């Protein structure tokens, strides 16, 4: 699993590590998993039911960026343990943002233990750009006391910026059975 790193300007309280990876990709679903170690003080948003919502990044949420390798455009998918989600198109880095249509809502599940949490998401494959793709995994983690840390595959600036193309480090092959 690729390891995410926390932005040095926003250290976590107890979270020790976050790993993220694609666990399956077929013609129907892209399945993604984030594993959080040190989750004893993790703030988990209350269940809100499926539905689009903005500003999910204000508390614990998980994000996936997907970009065709030769294009400036990319998509951002935000996923919350509350089951709220959103997807956006961008024409370039933080430019031309619009809501991305999805053929059905993603499925999200959070399993929380005493030291480890697992967040799984299944995204409808027909709502994503065609593979191959470059992917950026990220997470905003809120812990008790308002401590927020920002995790990505890489950080290149003084402030967290998940839209930085330097964060899109993983390669996503075409789905199996497609």
Give the whole-angstrom CA distance, residue 65 versus residue 36. Answer: 19
Contact between 59 and 142 under an 8 Å Cβ cutoff? The reply is yes
Give domain status of residue 153, yes or no: yes
Give domain status of residue 131, yes or no: yes
**pLDDT, position 178:** 54
Whether the bond between 132 and the residue before it is cis, its omega within 30 degrees of 0, is yes
pLDDT along the chain (178 residues), means of 10: 93 98 95 98 96 96 96 97 98 96 97 97 96 96 98 94 93 80
Q: Say what the alpha-carbon torsion angle 51, 109, 32, 107 is, to the nearest 10 degrees.
A: -40
Give domain status of residue 178, yes or no: no
**What is the CATH classification number for the domain harbouring 55?**
2.60.40.1190
Structural domain containing residue 49 = 3-172
**pLDDT, position 98:** 98
Q: How many CB atoms lie within 10 A of CB 89?
A: 15
**pLDDT, position 176:** 74
SS3 sequence of the chain? CCEEEECCCCCCCCCCEEEEEEEEEECCEEEEEEEEECCCCECCCCCCCCEECCCHHHCCEEEEEEECCCCCCEEEEEECCCCEEEEEEECECCECCEECCCCCCCEEEEEECCCEEEEEEEEEHHHCCCCCEEEEEEEEEEEHHHEEEEEECCCCCCCCCCCCHHHCCEEECCCECC
Q: Number of structural domains, the chain?
A: 1
pTM of the full structure:
0.96
Counted residue by residue, the chain has a size of 178
Give the whole-angstrom CA distance, residue 92 versus residue 163. Answer: 9
**pLDDT, position 49:** 93
Give domain status of residue 177, yes or no: no
Pairing of strands 84-90, 51-52: parallel
């Amino acid at each position: 699993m690729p390891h995410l790193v926390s932005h040095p300007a926003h250290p976590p309280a107890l979270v020790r590590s976050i790993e993220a990876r694609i666990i399956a990709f077929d013609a129907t679903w892209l399945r993604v998993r984030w594993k959080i170690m040190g989750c004893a003080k993790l703030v988990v948003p209350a269940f809100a039911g499926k539905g689009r919502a903005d500003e999910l990044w204000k508390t614990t949420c998980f994000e996936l960026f997907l970009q065709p390798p030769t294009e400036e455009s990319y998509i951002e998918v935000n996923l919350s343990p509350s089951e709220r989600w959103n997807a956006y198109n961008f024409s370039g880095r933080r430019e031309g943002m619009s809501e991305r249509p999805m053929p059905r809502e993603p499925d999200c599940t959070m399993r929380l233990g005493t030291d480890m949490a697992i967040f799984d998401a299944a995204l409808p494959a027909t709502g994503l750009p065609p593979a191959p793709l470059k992917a950026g995994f990220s997470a905003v983690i809120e812990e008790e006391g308002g401590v927020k840390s920002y995790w990505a595959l890489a950080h290149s600036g003084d402030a967290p910026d998940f839209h930085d193309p330097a964060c899109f480090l993983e390669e996503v092959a075409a789905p199996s059975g497609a």
